[in-house]
Structure 1
Amino acid sequence: MFTQYDPDKNEYSMVEEPDPSLEYSYADYLKWKFEERVELIRGRIMKMTAPNRKHQEVAGELFTQFKNYLKGKSCKVYVAPFDVRLPKRAETNDTNIYTVVQPDICVVCDEQKLDDKGCMGAPDLVVEILSPGNSKKEIRIKHELYEEAGVKEYWIVNPVEENAAVFILNKDGKYDGARLYGSGDMIPSVAVPGFAVNTNDIFST
């Protein structure tokens, strides 16, 4: 169930699950009030897995690491919930945007992409932290979305196995094979030059 705004009645009403046969836009997304967090993936609504305690601890530590490093620099770091709109080409009309994601952490270095709604276009770096409920399908879809959008660097962090996979966008606009980091490894960033974090710091929370 979610709450949808009816402009004719100027009120919200409870609505059943979104019709899977319909394609929704960001304009629709803005009218809804959900009982749980959702993302809009190519016009389809996808419910997000509720984060557990470990997920939140890892997210908090990574956010702090990025925040401290970026202090006084032009890049900005954001933590979910934070809407990232991924339009096709240079589309800016809400009714023609069909993908809105909420990365656990993202770094944006182009301030022109930022507005009061969040980020319009690809962040420079995105971090997704896995939860027990994440499916292989979700992971694959996010990988495809971030590659298509041109996200320069994409981290998948696994709090259970205490490791991270990092994908770097190559000159052909494709992600190279994952660079894997385990216990005690330093994870350097290409999209945020000079930044690096030790996996032990991420998972020792």
Structure 2
Amino acid sequence: MNRPMRAAPRMTTAEFLALPETPDGSRLELLDGEVLAMNPPSRAHQRVALRVASALLVWTDAATGRGEVLPEIGVDPGSASILVPDIQRFAAGRDLPADARAWPVGDLVVEVRSESTARYDREVKRERYLEAGAREVWLVDPLTAAVVVTRPGEPDALLGPGETLTSPLLPGFSLPLARLRVD
């Protein structure tokens, strides 16, 4: 006799945020009420995330009024979802919580590609970030040192390892993508 499969119960953002941290430190995300477990990032992923974050921190710290850069802060883009981008930059003057498990989406959101989440980052998370007010999303590929830059209302820009990443959100910022190459 065939039994119907039961779907996992949906969870609200409040229920998700009330969950204890995972004992092994693994990261969970909530998408449309469904809890997703993320695989631990690879060495290449982490090295590239650190290089991008370092470049953003150097730019931010070089002058006052450049906002704040934070890694792996959970954000609430709506739709019963809590997502955890690799890096975010919040513009100066944003009203940000002092301490919260779910922040608003940053002005700049950076996702570093992982084999297990590439499609999810590209097809779902990027759209959620933009819908929630991100002004720019960078999808960084650690294997090729390429970056896809998405801005609302504009076609995506693909930059390769021989190019330099700049942004109208970050006057004077530049990151030669060759620096992201991980051997």
TM range (shorter): 0.7 to 0.9
Structure 1 runs (4+) greater than 4 angstroms displaced: none
Aligned to 1:112: 95
Give TM-score scaled by structure 2 length. 0.84
Q: Report if aligned partners of 1:87, 1:121 keep a CA contact under 8 Å in 2.
A: no
Aligned to 1:158: 141
Aligned to 1:10: none
Q: Report if aligned partners of 2:70, 2:88 keep a CA contact under 8 Å in 1.
A: yes
**C-alpha separation between the residues in 2 aligned to 1:22 and 1:124?**
29
**C-alpha separation between the residues in 1 aligned to 2:148 and 2:124?**
16
Give TM-score scaled by structure 1 length. 0.75
**C-alpha separation between the residues in 2 aligned to 1:133 and 1:204?**
18
Question: Which of the numbers 29, 54, 62 marks the counterpart of 2:44?
Answer: 54
Change (3 A) 1:54 1:137: closer
Where 1:120 maps in the other structure, the secondary structure is coil
Change (3 A) 1:28 1:162: closer
Q: Structure 2: any 5+ residue segments left out of the alignment?
A: 1-6
Q: Report if aligned partners of 2:111, 2:121 keep a CA contact under 8 Å in 1.
A: no
Change (3 A) 1:58 1:135: closer
Q: Structure 1: any 5+ residue segments left out of the alignment?
A: 1-18, 89-97, 171-175
Q: What displacement does 1:117 show?
A: 1.3
Alignment root-mean-square deviation, CA: 2.1
- Larger fraction in strand: 1
Aligned to 2:173: 195
Aligned to 1:103: 85
Change (3 A) 1:118 1:22: closer
Tell me the percent identity: 24
Question: Which of the numbers 55, 66, 74 marks the counterpart of 1:65?
Answer: 55
